[in-house]
Amino acid sequence: MNIKLFTIPNLLTLSNLMCGTASIAVSLLYGELRLAAALIVLAAVFDFFDGFAARLLKCPSAIGVQLDSLADMVSFGVAPAFAMFVLYGQSPSAFGLDDTLLEAGRYMLLLSAAFAALRLAKFNIDESQHEEFAGLTTTADAIFCASLCYCCVSGGTVLAKEWIFAIVAVASVLMISPIRMFSFKMKSFGWRGNEVRYAFLVVAAALLLWLRIYAIPLIIVIYVVVSTVLWVIRSRRSQ
């Protein structure tokens, strides 16, 4: 069997993987969460362009599909888990809980990587996720965690350990939830059928201009809330 390993899409996927690996290293070895967050975002950029390149060059491959999931597991599963692990260690406690309990909570944050693995495995076998997603994507979760870390270490936000634990727990559950999250894959660029997407993009752009990087966690929260409301409305109509 002749398998081409080093195609342009695969090299982009491997770049995604290396960014995730580097993010883990700088988080754990140096506690440099701003750089770790930037590497996760860069991994997301490579993740976008590997699929784009495969379609543009007309060279999709089975190995590319497998490689993409493996890279995503590192960059959007393990890397954000360790970033939040380090952020938790650097943050104060709001309620003065016992140190043993707080330390146990810190290691439980790493379970988010397991939820990301379940999310990716579910996506690989679920044929209904072409135009919308079932649950929060690992990429959205990773960018949320990365931007939150960046905001905290940049001095603009202070999160207590208990809040970090709660946020990671909720995000982990959202990844494997049945909630249908809208995607930005459009059949056409017209307004009809894309009203929610365009309205969301306008709000997101306005928030970015106003709050800059501090807007990213808020944008993802709005995305989850809007998707959940639409999912609930559709579910009730279908009953």
* pLDDT one-digit tens code per residue, 66-99: 899 999 999 999 999 999 999 999 999 988 777 8
Q: What residue ranges do the domains of the chain occupy?
A: 7-118+132-178, 179-239
Contact 172/185 with Cβ under 8 angstroms? no
The model's pLDDT over 111-130, given as tens digits with 9 standing for 90+, comes to 999 999 999 999 988 888 77
The model's pLDDT over 126-159, given as tens digits with 9 standing for 90+, comes to 888 777 899 999 999 999 999 999 999 987 778 9
In 3D space, the residue among 5, 13, 84, 75 whose CA is nearest the CA of residue 40 turns out to be 75
**pTM recorded for the entire structure:** 0.92
Alpha-carbon gap, residue 37 to 33, rounded angstroms: 6
In 3D space, the residue among 115, 235, 130 whose CA is nearest the CA of residue 183 turns out to be 130
Q: What is the pLDDT at residue 186?
A: 67
Residue 213 has phi, psi (to 5 degrees) of -65, -25
- Count the residues in the chain: 239
Burial of 131 (0-12, 13-18, 19+ CB in 10 A): exposed
Options 3.10.580.10, 1.20.120.1760, 1.10.3470.10, 3.40.50.300; CATH of 7-118+132-178:
1.20.120.1760
**Average pLDDT of the segment spanning 61-70:** 87
